């Protein structure tokens, strides 16, 4: 991230913290006349219709989290299906090549057999006795022996080629079965994603405009509270890593996508899901990484939070169902969830599982 963006992010955080301190109870202000102590009024969690907005917020979080888990399963099945399809294509090529080779070997073996048949007839000792030139006959017999050995070699190679073809066919059948299983896994995950998103949208549709506004405020407050707690631990003072050259490119790509909509299963260029954004950002930096947040967590090298640098990926929740890119100054860029756009927020606004480094 550029110094200008970092300054803006830092300034925004400092301003937010200052506002929180100034509005907190118990802060003394110089005043000519004593003023009565005032406690800030918290955002109401219930609507006039009696809806518990905090409970609705938590329910929405759970629904979208379930959708994120299903999205990771969908993306994993999609990647495996692509790999299996490619392997099936490679096996098909090998089968074609093997069949061509077998046909050629059969032709050569047939030609050798016909040549031997034409040279057959009388027993070898009779042909030697009748021959005008015994040495010439012996030379010819040597060539026949060589031909017989060559024929045996051809037959052995034909047997090996046939065995290879059987193995290729067996492997292709196994890959087809895996491909079909992953297609079914994709379909199941797709249904689950749509089910969870539909439930969340139905819940949100039951809210009035003012309730939606209060709900949005509650979401902001929850994220701010989590970020403040994270910063209060002093962790930001320990983080001083500088981005690598590839990391800078990845950060630039990711931040250039700000404002684009979240879409499950999307890898750009018009929309992204969380791991679609991070995987494409690192691909743009010239370093391929796994497609899903869970595989990014499983396969990429882990680093301590205090050692992270811009470009590193922060994995969230115990099931590694969300991922974001650290951009410095305690901030991340990520694709949050359906209905939202790629945005910058606090790195501690969600429960951190750990940090991975693509270009370790």
Residue in this structure with the two tokens 């139905």, named with its chain if needed: 202
φ/ψ of residue 168, rounded to 5: -60, -45
Q: How far apart are CA 221 and CA 219, in angstroms?
A: 5
Distances (CA, A) of 320 to 61, 66, 225, 293, 354: 15, 12, 22, 6, 9
| Inter-residue contact 337 to 293 (CB < 8 Å) | no
Q: What is the pLDDT of residues 58-92, one digit of tens each?
A: 999 999 999 998 898 888 888 888 888 888 888 88
Q: How far apart are CA 185 and CA 7, in angstroms?
A: 45
Residue in this structure with the two tokens 């470009």, named with its chain if needed: 311
Residue in this structure with the two tokens 């169902």, named with its chain if needed: 321
Of 17, 29, 274, 302, which residue is the catalytic one?
274
Per-residue model confidence (pLDDT) at position 103: 81
Q: At what angle do helices 53-118 and 134-205 cross, to 10 degrees?
A: 170
**pTM value surpassing 0.85:** no
- Regions in the chain scoring below 70 on pLDDT: 1-51, 109, 112-151, 154
**Does the annotation count 274 as an active-site position?**
yes
Q: How far apart are CA 337 and CA 64, in angstroms?
A: 7
- Residue 240's nearest CA partner among 295, 315, 310, 189 is 310
Specify the long-range contacts of residues 213-216, CB closer than 8 Å, at least 24 apart.
Answer: 214/43, 214/44, 214/47, 214/53, 215/53, 215/56, 215/57, 215/60
Encoded tokens for 207? 């809210």
Of 29, 65, 287, 322, which residue is the catalytic one?
322
């Amino acid at each position: 991230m550029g110094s200008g963006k970092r300054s803006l992010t830092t300034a925004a955080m400092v301003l937010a913290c200052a506002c929180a301190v100034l509005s907190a109870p118990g802060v003394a202000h110089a005043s000519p006349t004593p003023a009565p102590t005032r406690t800030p009024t918290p955002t109401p969690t219930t609507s006039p219709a009696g809806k518990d907005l905090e409970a609705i917020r938590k329910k929405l979080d759970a629904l979208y989290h379930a959708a994120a888990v299903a999205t990771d399963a969908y993306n994993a099945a999609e990647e495996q299906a692509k790999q299996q399809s490619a392997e099936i294509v490679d096996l098909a090529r090998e089968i074609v090549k093997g069949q061509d080779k077998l046909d050629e070997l059969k032709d050569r073996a047939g030609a050798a057999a016909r040549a031997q048949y034409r040279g057959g007839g009388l027993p070898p000792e009779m042909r030697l006795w009748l021959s005008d030139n015994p040495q010439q006959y012996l030379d010819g017999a040597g060539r026949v022996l060589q031909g017989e050995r060559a024929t045996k070699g051809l037959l052995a190679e034909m047997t090996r080629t046939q065995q290879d073809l059987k193995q290729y066919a067996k492997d292709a059948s196994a890959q087809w079965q895996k491909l079909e299983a992953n297609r079914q896994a994709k379909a199941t995950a797709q249904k689950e994603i749509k089910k969870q998103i539909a439930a969340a949208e139905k819940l949100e549709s039951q809210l009035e405009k003012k309730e939606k506004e209060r709900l949005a405020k509650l979401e902001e407050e929850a994220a701010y509270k989590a970020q403040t707690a994270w910063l209060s631990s002093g962790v930001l003072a320990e983080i001083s890593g500088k981005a690598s050259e590839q990391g800078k490119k990845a950060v630039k790509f990711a931040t250039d996508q700000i404002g684009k909509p979240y879409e499950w299963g999307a890898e750009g260029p018009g929309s992204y899901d969380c791991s679609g954004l991070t995987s494409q950002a690192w691909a743009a930096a010239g370093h391929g990484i796994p497609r899903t947040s869970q595989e990014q967590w499983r396969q990429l090298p882990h680093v301590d939070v205090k050692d992270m640098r811009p470009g590193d990926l922060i994995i969230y929740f115990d099931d590694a169902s969300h991922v974001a890119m650290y951009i410095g100054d305690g901030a991340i860029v990520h694709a949050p969830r359906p209905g939202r756009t790629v945005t910058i927020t606090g790195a501690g606004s969600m429960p951190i599982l750990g940090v991975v480094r693509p270009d370790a």
